[in-house]
Amino acid sequence: MPEKRYIILAEDNQNDVLLLRLAFRKAGKEETLLWCKDGTDVVSYLGFLEDELPRLIILDIKMLQMDAFETLRWIKSHVRFSRVPIVILTNSSMQADLDLTLSLGAADYIVKPYDFEHLCVRVKDIVARYMAES
């Protein structure tokens, strides 16, 4: 059975979700983008997961119920998910946020660009770094 290909995206802004879907499509990645509105959705989904692991988890930092810091702590406390790359894609350019997320085990920290073309460049970089075919 072929590997299921999907990405978990925790993002509370629906416009950003739409733009990310379009950017991944433009980058040639048609994986299913599983949208979670916050970290509690991510934890709930992963907690009951029996199938293939996601290829990638993308987290926004500031979410209403459970932010990226708490979500990262939960994910990294479970060995099963240790090989899934986690990318922080956020509006925050604060050095403290960058330092904390990387210390908690995020693979990368990317500040959201202000326009769609730059977002597409960032998504292509994410695809090349974390989703290259092996």
Band the pLDDT of 68: cuts 50, 70, 90.
very high
Domains of the chain by start residue, with CATH:
21-37+45-92+102-117 (3.40.50.2300)
Sheet holding 108-111, edge to edge: 32-36, 6-10, 56-59, 86-90, 108-111
Q: For 3-15, what is each residue's pLDDT tens digit?
A: 557 899 999 889 9
pTM greater than 0.95 = no
Token couple for 110: 């990317």
Question: For residue 25, which phi and psi values (nearest 5 degrees)?
Answer: -65, -45
What gap in Å lies between CA 5 and CA 3, rounded to an integer? 6
Summarised one tens digit per residue, pLDDT across range 83-120 is 899 999 988 899 999 999 999 999 999 998 888 999 99
Q: H or E segment at 104? A: none
What is the spatial distance between Cα 50 and Cα 34, in angstroms, rounded to a whole number? 16
pLDDT band at 133 (very low <50, low <70, confident <90, very high): low
